[in-house]
Structure 1
Amino acid sequence: MADTSVTKGHFKVCGREFPNVTWYKLPHLRRTYFLLFFVILTSATNGYDGSMVNGLLSLDQFTDYMKDPSGSIKGLFSGIMFLGSLLALPITPYIADGMGRRWGICIGSIIMIFAVVLQSASVNFQMFVAARFFLGFGVAIAHGSAPLLITELCHPQHRAIFTTIYNTTWYIGSIVAAWLTYGTNRIPNQWSWRIPSIVQALPSILQISCVWFVPESPRWYISKGKPERALAVLAKVHAEDNADDEVVQLEYEEVKETIMIEKEAESTGWLELFKTKGNRHRLLILLSAGLFSQWSGNGLVSYYITGVLDSIGIKDPDMQLKINGVLNIWNCIVATTMCFFVDKLGRRPLFLVSTAGMCGCFVIWTICSERFAATGVKANGSAVVFMIFLYYTFYNIAWSGLLVGYTVEILPFSIRAKGMCYMFAFVDIALFFNTYINPIALDHIHWKYYIVYCVWLAVELVFVWFYYIETKNTPLEEICKHFDGDAALVGGAAATEKGRILEHEIHEKEHKHGTTQVTEEHVESKI
């Protein structure tokens, strides 16, 4: 197990501590973080869509135009996007690893813009559903690259916070969509729903315009045999163009040696996550995180708050839109705040508190819903609204930001893109199931459906207790020691025994070929 102790005011690289840096005082780092905001917009696009669906289903103008869709049709309306995402996942790692992280974001954004044009111009329900399929396809490709670029580019001191923030921006998009649909509700024609649909293209347009100003991942450059470019990026972003900076040199050597060792071990395939005990542990976390993040009852509110509020007597569309808008603002505040505690409190405590709190809240939520159904007392309905807010407070302690922040960091570079696809696949499977089943279940068994989530949340809590491990204050390349121990493939000054053996073999080949350049070509040829 790697040592995670860090003196206050310091961060750790290769087992050595260095004084904290103030990012806003360093021009290159400040500029990079500003530009990374546009990379983060991938998650905001997803959040916008979820809230927009809620909003559109609350608009009489939209439901009338779409001929008042039933519960199963509503499920298809929402779920088709996740089916599109699921079908795109097999190609996303090849784009991210083959063409680069920035190209992945750009290609995904182009597809999303095409989908938004089709969606905004829809003349019938079938056309709208087809557009949402392509929207999901584009989101998956962009999602497959954006968090990788963030975690591989950020300064070691800020990586955990920045990567965790990535998924919390879901709520920024959600807030914009919630209040935009609230405003357009007053437009007495089709523009009340076409305007929110058109605005959905804005994040993708900004990404295409700005992503090329963001430096490419230095780890990707090294994997493609371009170490000089990697060193230049690390020096510019982490040390204001000082390639001789000690932190930069330690990072560079560790990343270069680790990636070369991973290539030498040929640990890059889809089945790699099944081959070793450490990778199987990672896979359990990836699959469970994807499932738990969406199948914990949050899908009821994220996509079908109208049905939940209808069941407790709140049927006024204006009031439903207000509750949706305020809830998303609260969610954004809590989720963003918790990002700054991931290295202070640790991942495991946050996951445990979050899951236990959700379970408790859902039990009370279910009881209050039953009491309202039995008595019709308005106070019970108000209690449900309060419990929804409290439930989301606990949800956002961990499952919002750490869904990506935790899963992306536990994966070695060689399988990072493919590993994230496993996680996103289970996100999409859970969402597709939820968005199709939730409205049908709510229509037929009402509050009794909540009992399923009460039981499931208890199962989640047990699973998290046994399988989620702590990784705080550990450099990205060294996190594999938590899972693989001495068998971890780590190079540089932090190399494990297995890493040193493979490193020695690589240097032997390097000696036989005469020059470092030949060795890099030799290693790259083994990908």
Structure 2
Amino acid sequence: MVGGAVISANPLKLDILSHKKCVAICAIATISTFQYGLDYSLVGGFMAMPGFLEVYGYYDDTTEAWAIDPTVQRLISSLMTIGTFVGSLMVGPFSSFMGRKFGLWGATILNFIATAVMLGTTSVGALYAARLILGVSVGWFLTFSQLYVHEVAPAHLRGITFAVYQAQLSIGSIVGASVDFGTAGIMNKNAYRIPLAVFFAAPTIQSICLFFFPETPRWLVAHGKEAEAEKSLRSLRNSNIDEHEFQAEFNEIRLSTREQVEQNKKALFLEMWRGTNLRRTGLSIAVICFHAANGSSWVNIYTTYYLSIAGVSDPFAYSLMVTCMGLLGVIISTLYVRVIDRRVIMLVGVLACGFSQLAQAIAWTVAPNTKESGQVIVAFICLFTFFYVAYAPYAWLLGGEYPNSALRGYVFGVATALNFLGNWLGTFTAPYFINPLDLDWGPKYGYIWFGSNMILAVFTWFYIPETRDRTLEEIHEMFEAKVPARKFKTYVCTGVEAYAAEGAGKDHLEEREKGAVRVNETEERV
């Protein structure tokens, strides 16, 4: 499962330097995912800033400190999630007509409007509206950027580009926590206005760069613009690419995408639930919802609470340390994503997250409300964050690889929306389990999430197909052939090889196949 070459029809050179231009484009196309991590980190810090609470909170004479009404606090957080949910559902129809680039530009415009309102208003009603609009913007940034990367990156480098995507998100969290840490002591509106201004940075850089990037070749082919698609693919590949390789890849994309569009001419939202598409849609939704099902939402939100239990003197600084553990996890993942199967990464990730949840629950069961158990919990929160972020980008990756090119926007949008709904549900229900006034489980809540992660592990073992180094067209052929999940890795795709041969010439393709066989035999001997 870990070693051995995947039997792939990918006609390109399987290195990084030959595709450095496309990797750079993907990195810039995902820079706006910085926004999600930024918001997640910034707004949580606002709730402890006197400058913010003076405007949107009230002064509590009993505690002689600024506070905020719980309803206002919940709405500020939940409206963002609702906006993200709604925005993700809109991705399918919007992307079908406007494309991936216009989706990112639309997200930028909404981001600018929402941020300007939050900077200029002192009305809680206007703040609510801005949070909702910002949620739509963030939902579009996340989904459209991933769709773009799925459809332009070479098959063997999609894992690397998604690691970059996750790194952008983690960096956003670190920047948000750092800016909050620096402005928390300001006793006026600038305490939160300075951090909010950071929301303009990443989308501005990305929106300018997008003028120089092409629309994805698969989207163009799906809309009958094959000449533009060839031009797009050529601009995404290095100028010195071997023409045989280029024509083989383009022909594979052109003919397979044309076939997929012909198979799905009716109402696309209905087509995604029919025939072989039903399996693909179900897998995409399931694997993307791994994010909500492993318990990350409640661990991340209540980290500061457990830091205080552990006797940590500076919770803000230690929260930043936990966030850095996530960045470390995704950086390390770039070292193995090209050589370890997707199934192994997912399996190890959910098992590690599950046992991290179990360790917290056991510690609290044995010694509740003690400094020692708090320290154990903080340690396993760090481990949970490391392993979660080390596998999280590849759940997104798999979720976008499974749908076909005609339906990818619809399926990915629905899957993303359901994931955010699951995250909201986890966040909303957590207080009832851990609050002393309700069930008072505290970290024993981890028992539930341990069980959830074990279910994810079983699902991964039996149902997740292996797609490492496979082109999107190969993945389509295997689903259409109804290949069982455990046989994806060894299945030989004949259809896409025939398409590639039409573009590159049979002699060239046969030589590549002989080379692939020799590589595979060498690895097996090793």
Normalising by structure 2, we get a TM-score of 0.83
Counterpart of 2:407 in 1: which secondary structure?
Answer: helix
What displacement does 1:401 show?
Answer: 0.9
Equivalent in the alignment of 1:252: 250
Q: Deviations over 1:57-79 (max 9, x none)?
A: 33344345432235554332212
Question: Is 2:441 aligned against 1:451?
Answer: no
What displacement does 1:272 show?
Answer: 2.2
Q: Is the 8 A contact 2:214 2:235 kept in 1?
A: no
Q: What is the letter of the counterpart of residue 309 of structure 1?
A: L
Question: Is 2:383 aligned against 1:385?
Answer: no
Tell me the distance in 2 between the aligned counterparts of 1:208 and 1:251. 28
Q: What is the letter of the counterpart of residue 469 of structure 2?
A: N
Equivalent in the alignment of 2:295: 297
Counterpart of 1:373 in 2: which secondary structure?
Answer: coil
**Pair 1:487–1:53, CA change in 2 (3 A):** same
| Alignment equivalent of 1:62, drawn from 46, 52, 63 | 52
Q: Deviations over 1:34-55 (max 9, x none)?
A: 3432211232111111111232
Tell me the distance in 2 between the aligned counterparts of 1:290 and 1:34. 25
Question: Is 2:342 aligned against 1:337?
Answer: no
Q: Is the 8 A contact 1:267 1:415 kept in 2?
A: no
Q: Is the 8 A contact 1:282 1:411 kept in 2?
A: yes
What displacement does 1:389 show?
Answer: 0.5
Counterpart of 1:216 in 2: which secondary structure?
Answer: coil
Question: Is 2:203 aligned against 1:204?
Answer: yes
Structure 1: 5+ residue stretches without partners: 504-527
Counterpart of 2:289 in 1: which secondary structure?
Answer: helix
Q: Is the 8 A contact 1:40 1:146 kept in 2?
A: yes
Q: Deviations over 1:185-244 (max 9, x none)?
A: 2323221122112212221222222211122211122222222222222223324166x7
What displacement does 1:421 show?
Answer: 0.9
The answer to which of 411-420 and 264-273 deviates more is: 264-273
| Alignment equivalent of 2:468, drawn from 472, 493, 500 | 472
Counterpart of 1:294 in 2: which secondary structure?
Answer: helix
Q: Deviations over 1:1-36 (max 9, x none)?
A: xxx9638xxx9535x6x543442xx6xx54443343
**Pair 1:99–1:140, CA change in 2 (3 A):** same
Equivalent in the alignment of 1:82: 81
**Pair 1:22–1:141, CA change in 2 (3 A):** closer
CA-based RMSD: 2.8
The answer to which of 64-73 and 381-390 deviates more is: 64-73
Tell me the distance in 2 between the aligned counterparts of 1:19 and 1:283. 31
Structure 2: 5+ residue stretches without partners: 58-66, 485-491, 503-526
**Pair 1:289–1:56, CA change in 2 (3 A):** farther
Q: What is the letter of the counterpart of residue 463 of structure 1?
A: F
Equivalent in the alignment of 1:356: 351
Question: Is 2:188 aligned against 1:189?
Answer: yes
| Alignment equivalent of 1:460, drawn from 456, 460, 476 | 456
**Pair 1:75–1:274, CA change in 2 (3 A):** same
Tell me the distance in 2 between the aligned counterparts of 1:281 and 1:311. 45
Equivalent in the alignment of 1:233: 232
**Pair 1:107–1:309, CA change in 2 (3 A):** same
What displacement does 1:333 show?
Answer: 1.7
Once the two structures are superposed, the pairs formed by residues 507-522 of structure 1 within 5 Å of their partners are none
Tell me the distance in 2 between the aligned counterparts of 1:472 and 1:415. 21
Counterpart of 1:464 in 2: which secondary structure?
Answer: helix
Aligned length, in residue pairs: 476
Normalising by structure 1, we get a TM-score of 0.83
What displacement does 1:177 show?
Answer: 0.2
**Pair 1:171–1:453, CA change in 2 (3 A):** same
Q: What is the letter of the counterpart of residue 145 of structure 1?
A: F
Q: Is the 8 A contact 1:50 1:303 kept in 2?
A: no
Tell me the distance in 2 between the aligned counterparts of 1:71 and 1:442. 16
Equivalent in the alignment of 1:142: 141
Equivalent in the alignment of 2:29: 39
Equivalent in the alignment of 2:413: 421
Counterpart of 1:144 in 2: which secondary structure?
Answer: helix
Q: Is the 8 A contact 1:254 1:494 kept in 2?
A: no
- Identity of counterpart residues, as a percentage? 21
What displacement does 1:434 show?
Answer: 2.7
What displacement does 1:419 show?
Answer: 1.0
Question: Is 2:431 aligned against 1:435?
Answer: no
